[in-house]
Structure 1
Amino acid sequence: MAAATLRSVLRRNRLLPLFETCHLRDRLFFSSSDVAAAVTVCGTMSPDPHFMVEYLVNSCGFSHSEAAKFSKSLAHLRSTEKPDAVLNFMRSRGFDGAGIRKVISRNPSHLCVNVEKNLAPKFQFLRDLGLSESDIVDVILKDSAILRLDVHRSIVPRLEMWESLLGSRELVLKHLKKTRWFLSSTVEKRMHPNLKFLRDECGIPEERVSSVLRTHPTFILQKPESLRALVVRAEELGMLRHSQMFMSILKSLHMASKETLEAKVELLRSFGWSESEVFSAFKQTPSILSLSMESFRRKMEFLINEVGCVPSFIADHSSLLQYSLEQRVIPRFRVLEMLNTKGLWTRRGKFLSYVQLSNTKFMERIVLPYKEKVPELLDILRAGECEGK
């Protein structure tokens, strides 16, 4: 049943029209001369089982202690033929010395990969996806396990799953280029169990899950037991599984350890919030869970000491804490403060309402009507923009 469910998910937004051609391209795009350029036909033979230590030092630039450590998994080699081929191929594809050392240090057995049967077709496959050679280097440096994955059995199903979840090929490629372990986490052991748990046990619609994954795909790559622990933590905050904010809370908790969360709770209590106010604020505005301790402190201090907000007001309107202090909160407060000192601001209203205005509306309603009498207002806003850069 689980396999059938997975297959049905993989059929949506299929990538196979592109991927099915890759087996042929593996043969068509690489002539013997192309591969031969990267392969040393006859490597150095050595009867010494420890010759790989010197090889890693001389060919890759490792220290002797590093080479001794990494050579243990290469003790079966009696020739440098395969390592020579791998190193030559990687250099020909844009890897520098540091990049090569990074890949090998993660898994020295990458030096045993067959260039013609494994590496060359895989690089061509990644190019067919739309990645440039520099993109491919970046992808592999982030997730070198790709080098040992089978294209058709592993990479294709995972990319299909990602396109189904994210909704577009463009997002798949975007995250493939910037997200670590994007392909090396297995569908069967992590993605599929996590999706099933969120859907069947938590009652969270797939589109709500997908909306979080579009910006935080690593959320679904965590261990299933870790996801279940996150759900328990969210429920301890008083969140209900069927709440529309539940996925946002889970995402924020995923980005903060339990110890960090407890420290933030204590910090907010030091400003006079009750525990119920803390949890209410987190439920109302889950994104503030990802704020750093310093950001929390600075925002609370400014709102209390400069703006004059009482702590309970901030707790009831916790969305104030999600806005940038330097780029939004402080500049807008200074603008209103300047208008007040000039006797031009007679209207009254909650500061929150002015913070919530879009940049365009704040400019139209608050700044432009007074730009002739108080030209400094524009300078205040520009200073805020520069401060945030």
Structure 2
Amino acid sequence: MAAATFRSALRRNSLLPLFETCRLRDILFSSSSVNAAAAVGGTISPDPHFMVEYLVNSCGFSSSEAAKFSKPLAHLRATEKPDAVLNFMRSQGFDGAGIRKVISSRPNYLCCNVEKNLAPKFQFLRDLGLSESDIVDVIRNNDDILRRNVHRSLAPKLEIWESLLGSRELVLKHLKKTRWFFCSSVEKTLHPNLKFLRDECGIPEERVSLVLRSHPKLISQKPESLRALVARADELGMPRQSRMFMWTLDVFHKVSKEAFEAKAELMRSFGWSESEFSSAVRKAPTFLCMSLDMLRRKMEFFINIVGYTPSFIASQPTILLYGLQKRVIPRFRVLEMLNTKGLWTRRGNFSHYVQLSNTKFREKIVLPYKEKVPELLDILRAGECEGK
């Protein structure tokens, strides 16, 4: 009725200035939408700022938070849709804190159509086998899911991630704990990155998958960023056929060029040459992920206490990967005590004993001497406590 009246008014007033015509249209359609809202239900207010009070009273936001989050909702004049959204989320197990987290991320969720926009996403997650509490956790961490189309976006992403990670269980594990997991575009990001690694870099997909199971974010970055990481690995002299190549890309994804250079400079200060540093990174790239302070402390311990030369450490960089307080120092103390008591003459290479599993170290080194040197177990336990 309002639209017909508007068209009739336009015919009768064809010479009206354009701004008057637009004003008439806005008045008629605004009136129509308010009347429709009144017919369905919900609170109606002519006050453009009434959503501030609504967010305080219905969601529990503070006044300052509500003022901030109400800005994208300034066009609303009725609470019909926000009421429906909040009621739906509460029915799905969301508490007040969960609702506030989702709404603060994107206030426009309060404008969604529950049946068309929200319910299908919840059903999709239920069909994956997630419980109600799991779904709440997933959406709290990945509220972007609520913006995606189930068939055009969510289902294709599920399919490709399940293929990459090898199991739905791993997909759900990352989905529950990782905010960005379902954000990357299949067409613009995931497929191009996989094609680049497979076809241009010659990396088998199973080798890609092995790294992605622990660090899926590597494949979710922009294609140009991934290419830049490959270029850095090439500059280091890392062969693309090496099994460490993908792990090196993952490390470079976490370690900026600036941080890389700072650690290179630190190792040079201990006497490493450029070739020794590059060789160590190729063998054990993950040592670059530790802080400068920890890297310095480990080098000082192995050089000053154990007696290793910097060149030896460069040739055996995996020893830098083990916990200093919890593993390296306690084991060194155990072997030193056995040596001082004349019970351990086959000292061998300490790096070998660092790399033994906890069970093997106890079986081979501690338990055979527990009667003569009962404090050995106390040394190990003390180290475990310090490392916590």
Report TM bin, short chain: 0.7 to 0.9
CA contact under 8 A between 1:191 and 1:220: conserved in structure 2? yes
Q: CA deviation at 1:65?
A: 4.2
Q: CA deviation at 1:158?
A: 0.5
Match of 2:256, as an amino acid? S
Match of 1:346, as an amino acid? T
Equivalent residue runs for 1:164-175 within 5 Å: 164-175=163-174
Equivalent residue runs for 1:316-331 within 5 Å: 316-331=315-330
Q: CA deviation at 1:213?
A: 0.5
1:196 pairs with 2:195: yes
Write the distance in 1 (CA, Å) between the matches of 2:179 and 2:374. 48
SS in 2 for 1:184: coil
Equivalent residue runs for 1:249-268 within 5 Å: 249-268=248-267
Tell me the C-alpha RMSD between the 2 structures. Answer: 1.8
Write the distance in 2 (CA, Å) between the matches of 1:298 and 1:341. 25
Which residue of the partner structure matches residue 364 of structure 2? 365
For 1:284-322, what per-residue CA distance to the aligned partner results, in whole angstroms no more than 9, with x for missing partners? 111212112222122112111211111111111101101
**Higher relative contact order, structure no. (Cα contacts within 8 Å, ≥ 6 residues apart):** 1
For 1:221-276, what per-residue CA distance to the aligned partner results, in whole angstroms no more than 9, with x for missing partners? 11111111111111222212222211010011111111111111112122221222
SS in 1 for 2:53: helix
For 1:103-137, what per-residue CA distance to the aligned partner results, in whole angstroms no more than 9, with x for missing partners? 12221111111112332232232122121222111
Write the distance in 1 (CA, Å) between the matches of 2:330 and 2:57. 57
SS in 2 for 1:381: helix
Return 304-313 or 90-99, whichever deviates more.
90-99
Which residue of the partner structure matches residue 86 of structure 1? 85
Which residue of the partner structure matches residue 137 of structure 2? 138
Match of 1:76, as an amino acid? H
Return 72-81 or 165-174, whichever deviates more.
72-81
SS in 2 for 1:95: coil
Which residue of the partner structure matches residue 181 of structure 1? 180
**Which runs of 5 or more residues in structure 1 are unaligned?**
1-39
Match of 2:226, as an amino acid? L
Q: CA deviation at 1:41?
A: 5.9
CA contact under 8 A between 2:148 and 2:154: conserved in structure 1? yes
CA contact under 8 A between 2:298 and 2:320: conserved in structure 1? yes
Greater C-alpha Rg: 2
CA contact under 8 A between 2:164 and 2:212: conserved in structure 1? yes
Which residue of the partner structure matches residue 233 of structure 2? 234
Given the two structures, how large is their TM-score scaled by the length of structure 2? Answer: 0.86
Which residue of the partner structure matches residue 121 of structure 1? 120
Which residue of the partner structure matches residue 216 of structure 1? 215
Write the distance in 1 (CA, Å) between the matches of 2:57 and 2:186. 39
Q: CA deviation at 1:156?
A: 0.9
SS in 1 for 2:230: helix
Return 45-54 or 175-184, whichever deviates more.
45-54
**Which runs of 5 or more residues in structure 2 are unaligned?**
1-38
CA contact under 8 A between 1:46 and 1:78: conserved in structure 2? yes
CA contact under 8 A between 2:142 and 2:175: conserved in structure 1? no
Q: CA deviation at 1:100?
A: 1.9
Given the two structures, how large is their TM-score scaled by the length of structure 1? Answer: 0.86
Write the distance in 1 (CA, Å) between the matches of 2:61 and 2:299. 49
Q: CA deviation at 1:154?
A: 1.1
Which residue of the partner structure matches residue 312 of structure 2? 313
CA contact under 8 A between 2:286 and 2:321: conserved in structure 1? yes
Match of 1:163, as an amino acid? E
SS in 2 for 1:348: coil
Return 154-163 or 227-236, whichever deviates more.
227-236
For 1:65-124, what per-residue CA distance to the aligned partner results, in whole angstroms no more than 9, with x for missing partners? 443333332233221110111112222323233322221222111111111233223223
Identity of aligned residues (%): 77
Which residue of the partner structure matches residue 162 of structure 2? 163
Write the distance in 2 (CA, Å) between the matches of 1:64 and 1:369. 68
SS in 1 for 2:194: helix
Which residue of the partner structure matches residue 101 of structure 1? 100
Which residue of the partner structure matches residue 346 of structure 1? 345
Write the distance in 2 (CA, Å) between the matches of 1:186 and 1:41. 38
Which residue of the partner structure matches residue 280 of structure 1? 279
CA contact under 8 A between 1:179 and 1:218: conserved in structure 2? no
Write the distance in 1 (CA, Å) between the matches of 2:49 and 2:291. 49
Q: CA deviation at 1:202?
A: 1.0
Write the distance in 2 (CA, Å) between the matches of 1:272 and 1:42. 76
